[in-house]
Chains A and B, each alone.
Chain A
Amino acid sequence: MRVALFVTCINDTLYPRTGRAVVTLLERLGVEVDFPDAQSCCGQPQFNTGYRHATEPLVRRFDRAFRDHEYVVTPSGSCAAMVRDNYPRIAAKAAAEGRGRELTDAAARAVPKTYELTEFLVDVLKVTDVGAYYPHTVTYHPTCHGLRMLGLGDRPRRLLEHVRGLELRELPGAEECCGFGGTFAVKNPAVSAAMGADKVRAVAGTGASAVCTVDNSCLMHIGGTLARQGSTVRPVHIAEILAGTEEGAQGGAVSGTAAGAEGGPR
């Protein structure tokens, strides 16, 4: 099987190790991974801030970049939800504005083939034990778009429960938003920070050494808040946990996880 990796702009720019982890993980599971270079951003920051028209070129670009692929896999619940929920809306509004069916066709091609990573693993590859090893205590925060827009349900949990060495700690109030919300974080900084502080308090209260999500954007906010408070709890993307193996841990040379502290909060 061959899939295209949609790495997302934030992972490309700030968290490349997450992208490398996805490559490591999928290749270990026998999947051939492609990285179409024409890809960029799904357009979510523009769209969710109200700039729908500025989003349209990125819908076309997504369609062009992944046109030849049957599966598009992305390590982001939020970006997958953008494609699946909002591309059809953008297309419908463009059609209603008399600008034809171009975006409708683009959305119709993009929507059915786009999968968030844990969805692809559980629903398409039909695996919950990916042969991972991660000898740490971890708490899992279900991010809002994965939880409510994609309906990821317990897929991430089931994957984590099969990771050897991993001890999962229950996060109180797990389903409450962390307060990131894209531009919300800077447009309403007081409320965003208050929500972040409460989330971080809950994370710290679990005693876990790492907090895991399916979205690095939320993790940037949670991790940034943890770091500002001097906490030692590490923010980790689920792909990096699932990519880890015993051999990798001993050799320290998994391409996905060997990058040290880069991308993380300083």
Chain B
Amino acid sequence: MSGSHLGMPAFPRAAAVSTRDSLLRANLAHATHTIRDKRARAVAELDDWAQLRAAGAAVKDRTLRHLDSYLEQLEESVIAAGGRVHWAADAEEANRIVTRLVRETGEREVVKVKSMATQEIGLNEALAEAGIRAYETDLAELIVQLGDDLPSHILVPAIHRNRSEIRDIFRREMGSWGRPAPDGLSDSPAELAEAARLHLREKFLTAKVGISGANFMVAESGTLVVVESEGNGRMCLTLPETLISVVGIEKTVPTWQDLEIFLQLLPRSSTAERMNPYTTTWTGTTDGDGPRTFHLVLLDNGRTDTLADTVGRQALRCIRCSACLNVCPVYERAGGHAYGSPYPGPIGAILTPQLRGIEGSLEASLPYASSLCGACYEVCPVAIDIPEVLVHLRERVVEGGPVTRRGTRTVLKPAKGHAAERAAMRAATWAFDHPGALRGGMRLASRTRRLHPRRLPGPGRAWSDSRELPAVPAESFRDWWRRTRGEQRPDGSSTEQRGGVK
């Protein structure tokens, strides 16, 4: 690794540290390989998986094309069912709305269902600043929150922790958040789950306000859907008096019939289950059953801008299953934190730079955090061609080009720090488009081959620190061909003249 190589952007630097963490590598390799094998078996059970996948992609694409009308339909349906709808253009506005809504209840504590949207906007931190304590109730989110840690996986935010680390966190931290861990807590999964269950039960029974996201919003009826495994979501969605759901606008599906496709695609891709244990749906409010007040906060936060990019917009199909993380060889070795966002892995590498803009050094490094092996595209249940979007975003980084920011079309300048690379790429194209010059260069390399160093200085160390350099042969292929075959084709098909067309 080239260590402090100047201009090294954020992902490679973070990944250089995490790849050396052998405990993290072992935790991640074990977890990702287990779930990826299970997913493959669950998907193989359905012989119409390819059609389901195509249908999922088509429904999402069509919905996104007409998102404006479906959102208005959704708003009408939610209001008609007794809910209230708020529109948030960005994270700050969403946090302001939620903070105000909680304050209006007079409560200082809220329980939360695991939600990517609220991670994305940093809601817990915003609430804390307003003196409101948010309790995460998903087991893995609880581990992350108690450990004062960051999530590193979409589905399993504490995937980077093993059982004994979790036991230590529970023993140390549970007491200061509520019911302490039982004495003599071991690291057996059953005991850890029971400790979490007892700790969380207290929160469910006292909380007056619940905050959630949603996996889907059905426009025709105004119904929101949360799929989960633990039952904590069901508690938070039914017990509190007030429910506030913060949902990205791309979660809309037109009808219940569309939902049928995604309720097959999501669990098999995500947890490798035929069906997830809990599916909660709610439509506005119902007297005497569940929350008396329901607020839906519709979150844009860069989604409309992403929608304006005809190649990049397919990222908005994402149903947050995390199958792409589980098969990604880069994620497996770098870990989720290196992606600098709640959306790690391949999907994060195309989502974060689009939602936040690609100008920052972390965001500009993310499209390069992939070997373009294509394993993510292969498993994606809504057929997001992640490698295609990665290359598209790389172009935005090095060549600049048109982007949309807060609804306004603007032209991005090429990122700084790529001058040498840009010059090298242009030089390479020039040489490859001038075979005479190329041949000269090859011959020079061949003649000087005994002088070539085994290890390269400067940026070249990025190759030669871990790999031998290939030896330059005495003769290039084209020189061999010309020497042995060059005169055999008088029809001109292999003469130098044709090479000089340009």
- List the interface of chain A (C-beta within 8 A of B): 7, 9, 11-17, 19-20, 34-38, 40-41, 43, 45-55, 57-58, 61, 64-65, 68, 89, 144-145, 147-149, 175-177, 179-197, 220-221, 223-225, 227-228, 255, 259, 261-266
Cβ distance A186 to chain B, nearest Cβ, rounded Å: 4
Supposing A11-B477, A37-B478 touch, asked if A144 and B368 sit within 8 A by C-beta, the answer is no
Which residues of B have CB within 8 Å of A17? Answer: 473
Contact B432–A224 (Cβ < 8 Å): no
Instruction: Report the Cα distance A19→B16, complex, angstroms.
Output: 37
Contact A61–B432 (Cβ < 8 Å): yes
Partner of B435, one of A14, A19, A38, A255: A38
Instruction: Report the Cα distance A52→B462, complex, angstroms.
Output: 24
Instruction: Report the Cα distance A194→B19, complex, angstroms.
Output: 7
Cβ distance B391 to chain A, nearest Cβ, rounded Å: 6
Which residues between 451 and 502 of chain B lie within 8 Å of chain A, taking CB atoms?
454, 459-460, 462-463, 465-478, 480-482, 484-485, 489, 493-496, 498-502
When C-beta atoms are compared, the residue in chain B nearest to A235 turns out to be: B470
Does B371 interact with chain A (Cβ within 8 Å)? Answer: yes
Instruction: Report the Cα distance A194→B329, complex, angstroms.
Output: 10
Contact A38–B498 (Cβ < 8 Å): yes
**How many of B's residues come within 8 Å of A, CB to CB?**
80
Q: Interface on chain B toward A: helix, strand, loop, or mixed SS?
A: helix
Contact B374–A34 (Cβ < 8 Å): no
Does B394 interact with chain A (Cβ within 8 Å)? Answer: yes
Closest 6 CB pairs of A and B: A181-B371, A50-B394, A224-B467, A177-B373, A262-B473, A193-B466
28 CB contacts below 8 A, A to B, read: A12-B478, A14-B473, A17-B473, A34-B489, A35-B485, A37-B498, A38-B498, A45-B428, A46-B429, A49-B425, A50-B399, A52-B395, A55-B429, A145-B372, A148-B377, A185-B467, A186-B460, A188-B330, A188-B369, A189-B12, A191-B333, A193-B465, A195-B333, A195-B371, A255-B484, A263-B473, A264-B471, A266-B468
Partner of B433, one of A40, A220, A221: A40
Partner of B438, one of A40, A191, A266: A40
Which residues of A have CB within 8 Å of B388? Answer: 89
Contact A191–B15 (Cβ < 8 Å): yes
Does B1 interact with chain A (Cβ within 8 Å)? Answer: yes
Contact B372–A181 (Cβ < 8 Å): yes
Contact A265–B469 (Cβ < 8 Å): yes
Supposing A38-B435, A50-B391 touch, asked if A45 and B425 sit within 8 A by C-beta, the answer is yes
Cβ distance A104 to chain B, nearest Cβ, rounded Å: 17
Since A14-B470, A35-B485, A191-B333 are in contact, a sample of 4 more A-B pairs with Cβ atoms closer than 8 Å, ordered by chain A residue number, is A145-B372, A189-B12, A190-B1, A228-B466
Supposing A57-B429, A191-B333, A221-B467 touch, asked if A49 and B398 sit within 8 A by C-beta, the answer is yes
Name the residue in B373, B438, B468, B477 with the highest tally of chain A Cβ atoms < 10 Å from its Cβ.
B477
Which residues of B have CB within 8 Å of A53? Answer: 399
Supposing A37-B494, A263-B471 touch, asked if A193 and B1 sit within 8 A by C-beta, the answer is yes
Supposing A16-B477, A49-B398 touch, asked if A224 and B469 sit within 8 A by C-beta, the answer is yes
Which residues of A have CB within 8 Å of B330? Answer: 188, 191, 195
Instruction: Report the Cα distance A61→B489, complex, angstroms.
Output: 21
Contact B473–A148 (Cβ < 8 Å): no
Cβ distance B404 to chain A, nearest Cβ, rounded Å: 16
Name the residue in B12, B374, B422, B467 with the highest tally of chain A Cβ atoms < 10 Å from its Cβ.
B467
Cβ distance A144 to chain B, nearest Cβ, rounded Å: 4
Does B343 interact with chain A (Cβ within 8 Å)? Answer: no
Does B230 interact with chain A (Cβ within 8 Å)? Answer: no
Instruction: Report the Cα distance A224→B470, complex, angstroms.
Output: 7
Contact A228–B468 (Cβ < 8 Å): yes
Instruction: Report the Cα distance A17→B429, complex, angstroms.
Output: 24
Instruction: Report the Cα distance A20→B329, complex, angstroms.
Output: 34
Which residues of A have CB within 8 Å of B374? Answer: 144-145, 147-149
Which residues of B have CB within 8 Å of A197? Answer: 466
Partner of B502, one of A52, A61, A181, A228: A61
Which residues of A have CB within 8 Å of B370? Answer: 181, 184
Contact B399–A52 (Cβ < 8 Å): yes
Instruction: Report the Cα distance A219→B83, complex, angstroms.
Output: 60
- List the interface of chain B (C-beta within 8 A of A): 1-2, 11-12, 15-16, 19-20, 25, 329-330, 333-334, 367-375, 377-378, 388, 391, 393-399, 421-422, 425-426, 428-429, 431-433, 435, 438, 442, 445, 454, 459-460, 462-463, 465-478, 480-482, 484-485, 489, 493-496, 498-502
Contact A195–B329 (Cβ < 8 Å): yes
Supposing A19-B477, A50-B399, A194-B333 touch, asked if A180 and B371 sit within 8 A by C-beta, the answer is yes
Contact A266–B472 (Cβ < 8 Å): no
Which residues of B have CB within 8 Å of A41? Answer: 428, 432
Cβ distance B324 to chain A, nearest Cβ, rounded Å: 13
Contact B476–A265 (Cβ < 8 Å): no
Which residues of B have CB within 8 Å of A195? Answer: 329-330, 333, 371
Contact B465–A40 (Cβ < 8 Å): no
Contact A65–B498 (Cβ < 8 Å): yes
Which residues of B have CB within 8 Å of A185? Answer: 462-463, 467
Contact B428–A259 (Cβ < 8 Å): no
When C-beta atoms are compared, the residue in chain B nearest to A228 turns out to be: B468
Instruction: Report the Cα distance A191→B378, complex, angstroms.
Output: 21
Contact A48–B463 (Cβ < 8 Å): no
Contact B368–A187 (Cβ < 8 Å): yes
Contact A9–B496 (Cβ < 8 Å): no
Cβ distance B41 to chain A, nearest Cβ, rounded Å: 16
Instruction: Report the Cα distance A65→B426, complex, angstroms.
Output: 21
Supposing A40-B432, A46-B429, A49-B421 touch, asked if A13 and B471 sit within 8 A by C-beta, the answer is no
Which residues of B have CB within 8 Å of A144? Answer: 371-375
Which residues of A have CB within 8 Å of B471? Answer: 14, 261-266
Cβ distance B170 to chain A, nearest Cβ, rounded Å: 31
Which residues of A have CB within 8 Å of B371? Answer: 144, 177, 179-182, 184, 192, 195
Which residues of A have CB within 8 Å of B431? Answer: 40
Instruction: Report the Cα distance A61→B375, complex, angstroms.
Output: 31
When C-beta atoms are compared, the residue in chain A nearest to B435 turns out to be: A40
When C-beta atoms are compared, the residue in chain A nearest to B16 turns out to be: A190
Contact A190–B428 (Cβ < 8 Å): no
Instruction: Report the Cα distance A16→B480, complex, angstroms.
Output: 8
Which residues of A have CB within 8 Å of B429? Answer: 43, 46, 51, 54-55, 57-58
When C-beta atoms are compared, the residue in chain A nearest to B442 turns out to be: A13
Instruction: Report the Cα distance A9→B445, complex, angstroms.
Output: 14
Partner of B493, one of A36, A58, A223, A263: A36
Supposing A179-B329, A224-B467, A225-B467 touch, asked if A190 and B15 sit within 8 A by C-beta, the answer is yes
Cβ distance A86 to chain B, nearest Cβ, rounded Å: 8
Which residues of B have CB within 8 Å of A177? Answer: 329, 371, 373, 375
Contact B1–A265 (Cβ < 8 Å): no
Instruction: Report the Cα distance A11→B371, complex, angstroms.
Output: 21
